[in-house]
Amino acid sequence: MHYLQQILFVITLAVATYFIRKRVLRIRANINLGKQNEIKDHPSARLSNMLLVAFGQKKMFKRIIPASLHFFIYVGFLVINLEVLEFVIDGLLGTHRIFAPYLGGFYNVLMNLFEFLAVAVFLACVFFLTRRNVLKIPRFWSAEMTSWPRLDANLILVTEIILMSAILTMNATDQIVQTRDDHYVATGSLFFSSYLIPFFTNLDTSLLVIIERFAWWFHIIGILGFAIYVTYSKHLHIFLAFPNTYFAKLEAKGHINNMPVVTREVKSMLGLETVAAPDGEPGRFGAKDINDLSWNNLMAAYSCTECGRCTSECPANLTGKKLSPRKIMMDTRDRMEEVGKSLETGGPGLNDGKTLLNDYITKEEINACTSCNACVEACPVLINPLEIILELRRYAAMEESGSPAQWNSMFQNIETSFAPWKFSPSDRANWIDK
Amino acid sequence: MNAPTVAELVAKGETPEILFWVGCAGSFDDRAKRVTQAFVKILNAVNIKFAVLGTEETCTGDPARRAGNEFLFQMQAMSNIQVLNGYGIKKIVTACPHCFNTLKNEYPELGGNYEVVHHTTLLQQLINEGKIKMTEGGSFKGKKITYHDSCYLGRANNIYEAPREVLKALDADLVEMKRSRTTGLCCGAGGAQMFKEPEKGNKEINIVRTEDALATGATTVAVACPFCMTMITDGMKNKEKEDEIKVKDLAELIAESL
């Protein structure tokens, strides 16, 4: 019986590892479709960003209630995964609670802590489900929150609730079996699951063992299944928030990335210096598709958990314009997934006749942005939708001359009168003569 | 008024301590010109040796860059940098947060390295150093003033306190809007929106922001940006409040209290 369980466990683990590995490689390849600019500067500032913002959840705490509940889920995720380690070792060796004899009384403390977190995660998820589906917080129901993003969020919350219930059921039945079967090591009393003991105490030992085993298997398969699911869902932020905060922009938010290729041309036009153009095909100016964006913009899209804090602060979105910074990130991700899937099946990939600009994100959206940085400020994991918007605008302006007519007039005014308005340059200092 | 150009100073063999970068709005927009004049009045009152570029100044390129025209931005930036470096300019003050942001954060990569301050920061320093002295019992004493954060000062450059410190020096009763500092709502003009009609929506951003300001009950809305000035002033006109509620730049409020 134990050997059978061990063999099944190895198979389960191998299957899960295969699928997770495949998805991780796909996501990495998708991110690497972006431009490969190196980000190696200021490692200590970057590390401190990651520790404060991702590990310390600093920016979450602008909204204290969801932040506290999210914090429980986050700590629960980190800590309960220690228990998964024991699950894996037990599963491979056919042991039961292998850490218990080594840790003694501390094992009981740990298990009680896990149970506390399991209950906290359970309650937080119930609260979050209520906020989404009953209270209908607007940012979870805006235009880009179509049926899949809404279902995705609910699936994650429900899965977490079921997984936490499995832990508590397992511990409750385990505590009863401990008094009847030597294979079950004494854990000491476990506070929260003890409340569930009355539901099980009249059952046969053999049935209890089946329930306990079922809950154990359910939990570990659930965790592994969830790990695979996460790679397809918006939930990847649990891993990618860390690199995303590390590689986030360090300059002042008002700074827009320079385009050295333009600098070269402008310098030679002004006769300042002539630098030989680099070899190879000159790239596009700005971004039309995902491969024109930087890899870290693409990673940011996978880091987005669609919380919508950006969109709920966006002045354009607040006044009914089509722009939604969250949609910019979701579209970027969807386009990556589409291209990735095509490449995987030998399809045309990027050359499928579609592009991020126009097929996913329209000019009406990008033209509505005031570059006010409210979205950048709002993001709890330092995603920068503005960088993508500006790259798309650059493509529209420089490759298509597709800017709004009034912007083209403004460009012309700057070229001819050196001001965005049509005034005579010689009148510039008239304010002095007063 | 007394506002020498750098060229005039150089002709006399002098150099300015600080260059006042006026900006296109401050040079051409009638309302913003009054802010420029108020700021020059302050600079003269505290005897700072400043100069302007006069007709040698051109657009920093900010709206072009934000609208996506990087070529035009860099053409502007490089020629401005040639002029500034040619005069050996070390320090720049400007009353426009967009010029401020571009000069400070974006010119260094193109060879323009200057100490750049926004006029609100300079005003705060002058007040702290005791160089600006307000008249006792100034006209703002006890009056409700609210401050509208410019995105390009606030979120873009983390300048939230300097303008508020300046307002406190007026002895005014500073009231905050429900969205302020890091969550301050844009006036609607940034990112080159100043130069085009807004996209289709159900409301104008400047109207929403004007409503935020009206909700405070303040009789003066202090701004620190020529674009915010235009947008909030238009909002007040739309609400038919332009007679009751004044929209003023910080420099004007200080200049009136000297």
Return all residues near A56 (Cβ < 8 A) that are at least 6 apart.
Answer: none
Q: Is B108 on the interface with A (CB under 8 A)?
A: no
Predicted confidence (pLDDT) at residue B157 exceeds the cutoff of 80:
yes
Task: For residue A407, list chain B residues with Cβ-Cβ distance below 8 A.
Answer: 67, 69, 192, 195-196
Instruction: Verify whether the Cβ–Cβ distance A266 to B22 is below 8 Å.
Output: no
CB contacts < 8 A (A, B): 212
| Contact list, A427 vs chain B (CB under 8 Å) | 28
- Judge whether B48 is closer than 8 Å to chain A, CB to CB: no
The CATH code of domain B136-257 reads 3.40.50
A403 CB within 8 Å of a chain B CB: yes
What does the pLDDT read at residue A147? Answer: 92
Each domain of chain A, given as residue ranges in start order, spans 2-31+63-238, 284-402
Q: Does A369 touch chain B (CB under 8 A)?
A: yes
Domain with CATH 3.40.50.1860 in chain B: 6-123
CA distance B212 to B97: 21
Dump the DSSP string for A312-331.
HH-HHHHTT-S--HHHHHHH
Q: What is the mean pLDDT of chain A?
A: 94
DSSP B154: H
**pLDDT of A104 higher than 90:** no
- Asked if B191's CB is within 8 angstroms of A263's CB, the reply is no
**Are the C-beta atoms of B61 and B75 separated by less than 8 Å?**
yes
Query: Mean per-residue pLDDT for A43-53?
Result: 97
Residue type, B130: G
The pLDDT, as a whole number, for residue A280 is 64
Residue A53 confidence (pLDDT): 96
Number of H helices, E strands in chain A: 19, 0
Q: B199 and A415 in contact by Cβ < 8 A?
A: no
Cβ atoms of B57 and B21 within 8 Å: the answer is yes
Question: What token pair was written down for A233?
Answer: 């869902």
User: A314-318, B76-80, B137-141 — which is least confidently predicted?
Assistant: B137-141
User: Which ipTM value was assigned to this complex?
Assistant: 0.96
Res. B133: pLDDT tops 90: no
Give the model's confidence band at B71: pLDDT under 50 very low, under 70 low, under 90 confident, else very high: very high
Cα–Cα distance between B174 and B252 in angstroms, integer?
Answer: 16
B142: distance to nearest CA of chain A, Å?
32
Question: CA-based angle A161:A164:A170, to the nearest 5?
Answer: 140
The pLDDT, as a whole number, for residue A182 is: 85
Task: Please give the residue of chain A at the shortest CA–CA distance from B61.
Answer: A414
Separation CA B36–CA A431 (nearest Å): 8
| For residue A1, pLDDT beyond 60 | no
Percentage of chain A modeled with pLDDT above 70: 97
Rg from Cα positions in chain B: 18
Surface of B (112-141) touching A: CB under 8 A: none
pLDDT score of A3: 86
> Is pLDDT above 60 for B162?
yes
Judged by a CB distance cut-off of 8 A, whether residue A19 touches chain B is no
Q: Do B155 and A427 touch (CB under 8 A)?
A: no
Give CA–CA dist B1/A296, Å, rounded: 51
Candidate from B5, B189, B199 with C-beta closest to A322: B199
Is A376 within 8 Å of chain B by CB? Answer: yes
Write the pLDDT tens digit of every residue in B79-102: 999 999 999 999 999 999 999 999
- Count of residues in chain A: 434
- Fold classification of A284-402 is Fumarate Reductase Iron-sulfur Protein; Chain B, domain 2 (1.10.1060)
Substitution target from A370, A392, A398, A403 for chain B, most B beta carbons within 10 A: A370
Copy the structure tokens of residue B251: 């420099």
Beta-carbon separation of A368 and B198 below 8 A: yes
Asked if B103 and B94 count as a contact pair (C-beta separation under 8 A), the reply is: yes
Question: Among partner residues A255, A269, A409, which is closest to B106 by beta-carbon distance?
Answer: A255
pLDDT tens track for A199-256? 999 999 999 999 999 999 999 999 999 999 999 999 999 999 999 999 999 999 999 9
**What is B6-123's CATH topology?**
Rossmann fold (3.40.50)
Nearest CA in chain B to A367: B199
Please report which confidence band the pLDDT of residue A273 belongs to, taking 50, 70 and 90 as the band edges: confident
Q: Which of A407, A414, A427 sits opposite B196 (nearest CB)?
A: A407
- The stretch B99-126 carries a mean pLDDT of 98
Residues of chain A positioned with their CB less than 8 A from the CB of B52: 429, 432
The proportion of chain A whose per-residue pLDDT surpasses 90, expressed as a percent, equals 90
